[in-house]
Structure formats: C-alpha cells, structure tokens
Amino acid sequence: MQNLTPIPELFVSSESAEKLKNEAADLPSWDLSARQVCDLELLMNGGFAPLKGFLGEADYDSVVENMRLSDGTLWPMPITLDINDSFASTVEPGQDIALRDSEGVILAILSITDKWVADKSREAEKVFGADDIAHPAVNYLHHKAGKVYLGGPVVGIQAPVHYDFRRRRNTPNELRAYFRKMGWRKVVAFQTRNPLHRAHQELTFRAAKETQANLLIHPVVGMTKPGDIDHFTRVRCYEAVLDKYPQSTTSMSLLNLAMRMAGPREAVWHGLIRKNHGCTHFIVGRDHAGPGKNSAGEDFYGPYDAQHLFKKHEAEINVEMVDFKHMVYVLEKAQYEPIDEVEKGMTVLNISGTELRRRLSEGLEIPDWFSFPAVVKELRRTRPARHKQGFTVFFTGLSGSGKSTIANALMVKLMEMGGRPVTLLDGDVVRKNLSSELGFSKEHRDLNIRRIGFVASEITKNGGIAICAPIAPYTATRRAVREDIEAFGSMVEVHVSTSLEECERRDRKGLYKLARAGKIKEFTGISDPYEEPVKAELVIDTEYAEVDNCAHQVILKLEQMGLIAG
C-alpha cells in the first residue's frame, strides 16, 4: 500500500542548524569521501529510512550476515563510515564529530557509538558474493575505504549542495508531496545508470501501462559503475527522451545514490529506497546492478538472481516488482516486442552496449530504430569518434635510448597533420619546470611520473595530444598513469628498447661515464632499476631504424588504433 505521509528526516530546524554549526566548529571533523557524501544525503533526507545514522557494529554484523538490522528489519547494504587510522586514533565512542564535505562545509554531526576494525573479506564475501577485486565495490572496500568504521546517529545540519540540474533533484518527501498533489496512487520506478534508448522507452512505457501506474524515471547520478557515461551527459539524454512519454503520467527525478553494483542485494536496497520515495512498483531487469565479470571471467551473479531475491522479500519491501522484459526490435513489424513474444521466423535486431560504444568511437551510424536522434547527438558530443578524441603517447626507455629525439619528430609530424594541439612533456624539460625540486630516488621518480601523468590526462581530457618522454622505470607507476589517462582517452605506451650497451656506447650526454665512475648515483640501468614494459602498445629499437622511421612507426600505430584518420 502506498503511504504518502512525510517520511522522517534527520535534519534539525534551520535555527538549531545555525546554532549547531557554530558549536560543531570546535569538534574533531571528518572530511567525507564522495561516496560518504552520497550516503549521508540519503540518510538525512529519509532515502535510507529507517536508518538513523551510520551503522553501529551490531547492526553492521547483522546486515552483513542476514541482510537485516539487529532488530530484524530488512536492510541489505552496510552503510558505514570508514575512516583512516590516523583519524581513528583521535576519536572514541561517546564523542561527537563534524562531518564535512570536500569544501569543508559542515553537513552533519555524528555521535559515535561504535568504533571497530571491519573484517573486509567477510563483508566482501557476504555482501558482494566474493572477495574479488574485479568487483568494483570490493575493490573500493580494499583499496579506497579506511580500515576503521564509525557508527552512530546523525544529526543533519544541511544537505550537500548540488549546482547541477537542481530542478530535477527531489528528496523523498518532495516526491511524496508531488505524487500526493498529482493524485498518483500507483507509481512504477525505473532505476537506470545508462542513457535511455528506444528499447528502454518502450519497456518503461509498457511497464506503466501493464500496472496501470504512473512512471517515475529515477536515474542514479551519485556514483555508478566506473567507466559509465557521466551523469551530465546522461541527464541531457534523459531530458531529450522525456517528451516521448505522456507528460501527465511520467516524471523524472535524479537520485544521488552511490551504487555498489551488488546485484541481488542491491535490487532489494533499490526497492526500499523507492518505497521511501513514495513508489509502489519497481522495475527489476536481467542482471540488475550487475558488476560485470569476476577475475575468472565469469558473471558474479546469475542473470535473474536479483529478481528472485526481490520477489522473496517483496512483501517486506512493500513494493511490487515488475520484471523487466528484454525488448528487441522486430524488423518485419518495425516495432519493439518482448523477446519471449516474438513470432518464429521474424528478424530480431539488437545493439549491445559494447557494440554501441564501438559505433560511437568509430564514428559509425547508429540507426534510428535503436535510439533517438537527440540522444545520439548528446552521446556523440561526449564521446566523439576516436580520431577526434585526445590521447597520450607515452615513451619509456633508458636515458639516451632516443625517446626525446623520436618524440620531437613525432610532435612535428602530428603538427603537420593538424587538427589537435600537441604538447611535448620531455623528461629533461619536465625536470626543469614541473619537477625542478625532485631527485632520482624511487619516491621522487614516482612523483615526477605522476605529475607528468596528471598533465597528460588533463590534455587528453581536453581533446589534445600529449607526448611524454620520461624514463619512467617502474611498471606500477606507468600503470597508475595509464589509469589516469584512460579515464579520458587512449594511452599509447611506446617502449624505446635500445639496449643498455648501445645507450652507454652512444653516451650522448656523458652521463653513463659519470655513473660508472660513481659520480652520479641512482643512475637508471647502472645503479638503479629499469622494469621493462610487458604490454606496451609498441616497441621500437633505435639500433636498427632511423629517427624518421621510428616516428613513422608510431604514426602507423596511431592510425591502426583509429586515433588519427588514415
């Protein structure tokens, strides 16, 4: 049964908030991570009701083991405040702490009741089904979350401020009030982290029709799966599709949830959150909130596990599940139909997410039967064809291997082609400007390379070409730089594999002689390591090729990867 009376929030009145804010200025304070800000927002506005704060140890144990709070209430997801060791050593149960956003604004006060070191492997096994870092939430748990958890009730001072799409963001009570005002007694919610194409429009429209309910498109704009299309683009896409629905029965609201990609448990969680937002029905699809493949290349969850778990707890969630029909385009009928209803002999068309990404990156046509022109236009603006995107060519190799010479030749060739600005971040040049205070210890080399990676990733993000030519002797650091860059475009690692003997024979700067004589310490190849890349996109040996030819090899590689038009 739908209940549209206001849901309890954790906020105090604005008068008390002002007072508390002043008092809180003297409290120890914790700067919330992006995920914690999302969690706190939904705690404070009632999206996570009946939770009154971050879970204490007994509730946490019970949620992890049984999907229930210790009083027996169904709650599948541990909402915990993880902190680092150094902050943990300064606070104890019984104390109040201020919770601040990334700009230092005090959002809430937490009264600590519990402080404990979590068994993260158990949490991973029980909540996410496997202690495998291929699962984004398990990776987060082990590599981003702090070791110590704090629990206790929260007093809300102010909601996190959002400057984007303000009119599309609604608290549970705002949505409840809207449904009340509109007389919407039945509301079916559609959760999504992807742009809506025709198949989604068709299935949501059908779900609403079949249940005789109004439709709430309720996309997640907090944190979704790494690699997803950013929410700015997605919201513009959703807005472009909204006029395809009957206006009087459909609404769209943004949910600042940090997803965990926990499949079945996540589906139950999503249902409870939608109940709090005044919905009566919820669409659960195949592989709902699926995290992708595990380290062995298998799916973490069965395709219908989420539907089964939801169904099992449907009465308690108090939201009816509408199972997602996999919609396909039937060519002969020129319309979408659920796959299980398609007559034999018909031609069924479908484009997978991977195929869509390929078509976007290669600038290929995306047919009208698949999506709406306005949606495709938005996607193309964000994901231009690969030959229009920024990228980084990252040379690595010993001192004197020829990196800088080839990098310079490559820069000139790319500038001759035109189209994108080219920036050369040569090892020596960077050391004179960006990293002038650094030496050659492992720590300093890593810092130097991470700085180069940061600049290269910004250039890549903004559609330019960055050419980097440091020694970059450590595999792990090169991998970290790759991650930074690949968030925005391609990274082409080029190993200039000229042998140590040849570099030393050339000794163009006379450094090897000094290094052999012990006059330069920590010299790469002589008294410091060089870890050879195993997965470079290209290996160039300068002993057997002219500079011009070496640079040309890179150009051919870029062409092959679709980064420059042939």
Q: State yes or no: residue 427 binds ligand PPS (CB under 6 A).
A: yes
Per the CB < 8 A criterion, the answer to whether 465 and 422 are in contact is yes
Residue 399 C-beta: closest distance to ligand PPS, Å:
3
Residues 53, 81: Cα–Cα separation, whole Å: 9
Residues 478, 485: Cα–Cα separation, whole Å: 11
The secondary structure of 271-288 as a DSSP string is HHHHHHTT-SEEEE-TTT
* Tokens read off for 333: 């009928």
Q: State yes or no: residue 511 binds ligand PPS (CB under 6 A).
A: yes
Q: State yes or no: residue 520 binds ligand PPS (CB under 6 A).
A: yes
- Site residues for ligand PPS, 107-146, by CB under 6 A, read none
Q: State yes or no: residue 271 binds ligand PPS (CB under 6 A).
A: no
Q: State yes or no: residue 522 binds ligand PPS (CB under 6 A).
A: yes
Among 448, 490, 497, 542, indicate the residue that binds ligand PPS (CB under 6 A). Answer: 448
Which residue number is nearest to ligand PPS in terms of Cβ? 427
Q: State yes or no: residue 478 binds ligand PPS (CB under 6 A).
A: no
Which range, of 135-143, 229-237, 257-265, 516-524, touches ligand PPS by CB under 6 A? 516-524
Question: Among the residues of 362-402, which ranges form H helices?
Answer: 373-382
Among 404, 457, 497, 542, indicate the residue that binds ligand PPS (CB under 6 A). Answer: 404
Q: State yes or no: residue 449 binds ligand PPS (CB under 6 A).
A: yes
C-alpha distances in Å from residue 327, one per residue of 31, 68, 264, 292, 410: 44, 35, 21, 21, 48
The secondary structure of 324-364 as a DSSP string is PP-EEEEGGGTEEEEGGGPPTT--EE---HHHHHHHHHTT-
Among 280, 399, 457, 460, indicate the residue that binds ligand PPS (CB under 6 A). Answer: 399
The secondary structure of 506-529 as a DSSP string is H-TTSHHHHHHTTSS-S-BTTTB-
Give the nearer residue to ligand PPS in terms of CB position, either 310 or 440. 440
Q: State yes or no: residue 443 binds ligand PPS (CB under 6 A).
A: no
Catalytic residues, which ones? 192-194
Residues 62, 64: Cα–Cα separation, whole Å: 5
Bridge partners (DSSP) listed for residue 495: 396, 539
Residues 275, 267: Cα–Cα separation, whole Å: 12
Considering only CA atoms, give the Rg of the chain. Answer: 27
Among 80, 495, 523, 537, indicate the residue that binds ligand PPS (CB under 6 A). Answer: 523
Q: State yes or no: residue 250 binds ligand PPS (CB under 6 A).
A: no
Give the nearer residue to ligand PPS in terms of CB position, either 229 or 503. 503
Give the nearer residue to ligand PPS in terms of CB position, either 479 or 509. 509
Per the CB < 8 A criterion, the answer to whether 161 and 17 are in contact is no
Tell me the number of residues near ligand PPS by CB under 6 A.
21
Question: Among the residues of 242-278, which ranges form H helices?
Answer: 263-276
Give the nearer residue to ligand PPS in terms of CB position, either 386 or 445. 445
Among 110, 472, 540, 558, indicate the residue that binds ligand PPS (CB under 6 A). Answer: 472
Give the nearer residue to ligand PPS in terms of CB position, either 132 or 528. 528
| Residue ranges binding ligand PPS (CB under 6 A) | 399-400, 404, 427-428, 431, 440, 445, 448-449, 470-473, 509, 511, 520, 522-524, 528
